[in-house]
Amino acid sequence: MTSSSTHANDVAQQRLNRDVVISVRDLVVGFGDKTIMKGLSLDVYRGEVLGFVGGSGQGKSVLTRAILGLVPTRGGAIRVFGQDRDALAPLERRALEQRWGVLFQNGALFSGLTVKQNIQMPMREMRDLSQRLMDELAMLKLELVGLSPDAADKFPSELSGGMVKRAALARALALDPELVFLDEPTSGLDPISAAEFDELIGTLQQTLGLTVFMVTHDLDSLYSICDRVAALAEGRVIAAGPLETLLASNHPWLKAYFHGVRGGRLTAARVEQKDEQWKPAPTTP
């Protein structure tokens, strides 16, 4: 915990001289006569894990999809790696797309391919590599995400939910992207697997120097691995910063989110834990 919070402070200090990887300005997105994003602005800095929270149906996934270019925007600008997607030539756009990896909520593994073929798919299509190297890299990625080698030749339908997420993460990391989008990576996992997955994302982020944009509902993930948290409500980012600032915020939605029935219990537990670390150990008589 301590290391993560000092890390968060470092992030705050270095804010000014750090690269902005994703910059969203005054984004407007809507479907039909419904406007979901009403002038949303958000920055993601290089090397950080940004947790993105918001109520169900508020458009967390829509923002991710808008950044990825899967949803048409009505206004505003999205710059990824300092480049405006819409202004790029098709070839440059493809090069840009190879610099990010996406873990979809349900994995989105290709059901007709084995796990290994899934991981090799981006390498095969985008790069010119020998089969030996592709095999080795696929197995290496499998090991990095904590899957056993015998999962390599299985089909997605033969995997459990947690294994699907890990395999999908391995595929997202196939080309060693600089930026990774995770859409609710721990949803549908049991608490043990979820904690393992959080830890995995943390280690990978440090080993590979990734920038992580993580949409999540999991308060535990926010506490354990996110450097910064951004909260979405009413079509805007209502707060962005280290978790501590959000916890101290007076915004009604944030209060309900972090200090409501579920969030409150967890926050209280965390605070207690921290206090206990400060207290001298009780002496046993």
Partner 1 sequence: MTVAAMQRPPKVARQSSAAGVRLALSGDWTLFASHRLEEEGRRIVEEARLDRMVAIDLSQVSQLDTAGAWLINRARHDLARRDVAVTLEDVRPEYSTLLEETHYRAFAAPSRPRFNVIFVLLADFGESIVDALREFYRGVGFLGEFVSSMIYVAAHPQRFRLTSLVAQIELVGFRSVPIIVLINILVGGIVAQQGIFQLLKFGASSYSVSLIGILVLRELGVLLTSIMIAGRSGSAITAELGSMKMREEIDALLVMGLSPIEVLIAPRVLGLVISLPILTFIADIAALFGGMVVSWWYGGISPAAFASLLKEAIALHTFLVGIIKAPFMALVIGLIASMDGLATQGSAESLGRQVTSSVVKSIFMVIVMDGLFAVFFAAIDY
Report which of 1, 59, 78, 51 is spatially closest to residue 241, judged by C-alpha positions: 51
Is residue 153 at the binding interface for partner 1, with CB under 8 A as the rule?
A: yes
Closest distance to partner 1 from the beta carbon of 212 (Å): 16
22 by Cβ neighbours in 10 Å (0-12 / 13-18 / 19+) ranks as buried
Is residue 101 at the binding interface for partner 1, with CB under 8 A as the rule?
A: no
**Separation between Cα atoms, residue 173 and residue 49, nearest integer Å:** 16
Closest distance to partner 1 from the beta carbon of 140 (Å): 6
Site string for partner 1, 191-210 (x = CB under 8 A): ---------------xxxx-
Is residue 90 at the binding interface for partner 1, with CB under 8 A as the rule?
A: no
Closest distance to partner 1 from the beta carbon of 258 (Å): 33
Stretch that binds partner 1, among 35-43, 53-61, 144-152, 273-281 (CB under 8 A): 144-152
By beta-carbon proximity to partner 1, the closer residue of 10 and 26 is 10
Assess contact for 112 and 123: CB atoms under 8 A.
Answer: no
148 C-beta neighbours (distance < 10 Å), count: 9
211 by Cβ neighbours in 10 Å (0-12 / 13-18 / 19+) ranks as buried
Is residue 136 at the binding interface for partner 1, with CB under 8 A as the rule?
A: yes
- 232: tokens are 């979405």
Using CB under 8 A, list all residues that contact partner 1. 92, 95, 98, 111-112, 123, 127-130, 133, 135-137, 139-141, 144, 149-150, 152-153, 155-157, 173, 175-176, 206-209
